[in-house]
Amino acid sequence: MIPNQILDGIEHLDPLPVTARRLSDMLGREDVNIRDIADVVQYDAAVAANVVRVANSAAYAGRYPVERVRDAVVRLGTATLLTIVLGRHIQNFRGAAPMYSLSEDDLYMHSAAASLMIKAMAAECRGPLPATCSVAALLHDIGKLIMVRYMKADVSSLLSLCNEKKINFVDAERELLGCDHAEVGGAVARKWGFPTEITSAIENHHNVSRGGNGIVLDAVMLANYAAKSMGIGLGAAAFNIPIDYAGSRERLGLSIEGFERACAQTAMWMADQRKEMNPVA
Ligand SMILES: [Fe+2]
């Protein structure tokens, strides 16, 4: 059960920006056309500038560069546009998460890598991945940012508990703090009004027994595992988390080689992203 101080904190979170809410409502709707989506993006100047830049970045660039917002919208699609808007929004409460041994940068890069991994896996899976996967992957650990705001715990107490009781990091969170970051993340997503498959994937991304309950959940579990395998945002939990790597992979129709190719592709996109963020490094 989520303690009251966290529930109060979630209740008082800033609402989603209007652009994010409108894009979220458009996700999965078949009656939405490009002009509707372009209109939403166009009226948000900061977002409009960003979508053109992302549409020309290594992960999304096509044969020709795009210059107009409308062309960028066509290239990126609603879900990616939403991840751009959400990426900016969650930076408002960016911070380090010492309880998980994660720096501000680790958390951000881990979310970005998980979200890009969805795009890379989509090219390798047997069937299509729903558009909501990239949003769920981006936000899967959002609960950690809330946990560190309201819970006082030391990473060493969590790690000692793991060692003493031979339990995984997520169980240790629940035992020491009464809840874990996944269920808190689910409550945040619910508060923000995301579609059920996103909320549920965030809430259950460490719940192996729920694997098989949807493509989005399996894709998020694998994307999280992949980001960790690339050494991005390993944190104190590292691989001491519940994961059904083979089960999730099989349900998505993703071979071991396909998973590895997707990891390699994501690592290349992440390297480009780092270069863009820090061109002199
Ligand atoms: Fe997690």
Tell whether the model's pLDDT for residue 102 goes beyond 80.
yes
Distance from residue 176's CA to the centre of ligand 1 (Å): 16
Distance from residue 181's CA to the centre of ligand 1 (Å): 7
| Burial letters 215-254, b for 16+ CB under 10 A, else e | bbbbbbbbbbbbbbbbebbbbbbeebbebbeeebbebbeb
Q: Is residue 247 part of a domain?
A: yes
pLDDT at res. 65 = 93
pLDDT at res. 232 = 95
Positive/negative CA dihedral, 48, 54, 56, 60: negative
Q: What is the span of the domain harbouring residue 216? A: 80-277
Distance from residue 90's CA to the centre of ligand 1 (Å): 16
The mean pLDDT value for 237-253 works out to 94
Distance from residue 275's CA to the centre of ligand 1 (Å): 26
pLDDT at res. 94 = 76
Residues 270 and 232: beta-carbon distance below 8 Å: yes
pLDDT at res. 278 = 67
Q: Is residue 256 part of a domain?
A: yes
Distance from residue 192's CA to the centre of ligand 1 (Å): 19
pLDDT tens, position by position, 107-117: 989 999 999 99
Distance from residue 74's CA to the centre of ligand 1 (Å): 32
pLDDT at res. 143 = 95
% pLDDT > 70, the chain: 98
Q: Is residue 138 part of a domain?
A: yes
At residue 272 the predicted structure's pLDDT band, cuts being 50, 70 and 90, is: confident
pLDDT tens, position by position, 219-239: 999 999 999 999 999 999 999
- Token couple for 221: 């579990």
pLDDT at res. 24 = 92
Residue/partner pairs of 38-45 with CB below 8 Å, 24 or more apart:
38/69, 38/70, 38/73, 41/69, 41/73, 41/81, 42/69, 43/19, 44/17, 44/18, 44/19, 44/85
Distance from residue 199's CA to the centre of ligand 1 (Å): 13
Residues 270 and 113: beta-carbon distance below 8 Å: yes
- Token couple for 67: 């210059």
At residue 87 the predicted structure's pLDDT band, cuts being 50, 70 and 90, is: confident
User: DSSP H helical segments within 30-141, as ranges?
Assistant: 34-42, 45-55, 69-90, 104-122, 132-139
Tell whether the model's pLDDT for residue 62 goes beyond 90.
no
Domain count, the chain: 1
Could you tell me the CATH number of the domain that includes residue 126? 1.10.3210.10
Distance from residue 245's CA to the centre of ligand 1 (Å): 15
Distance from residue 140's CA to the centre of ligand 1 (Å): 6
Distance from residue 237's CA to the centre of ligand 1 (Å): 9
Q: Is residue 136 part of a domain?
A: yes
Distance from residue 44's CA to the centre of ligand 1 (Å): 31
Q: Which of 175, 200, 167, 195 is nearest to 185 (CA)?
A: 200
| Mean pLDDT of the residues in the chain | 92
Distance from residue 224's CA to the centre of ligand 1 (Å): 7
Distance from residue 107's CA to the centre of ligand 1 (Å): 11
Tell whether the model's pLDDT for residue 173 goes beyond 90.
yes
Q: Is residue 114 part of a domain?
A: yes
Q: Which residue has the higher pLDDT, 15 or 122?
A: 122
Q: Is residue 48 part of a domain?
A: no
pLDDT at res. 174 = 96
Distance CA 258, CA 123 (A): 9
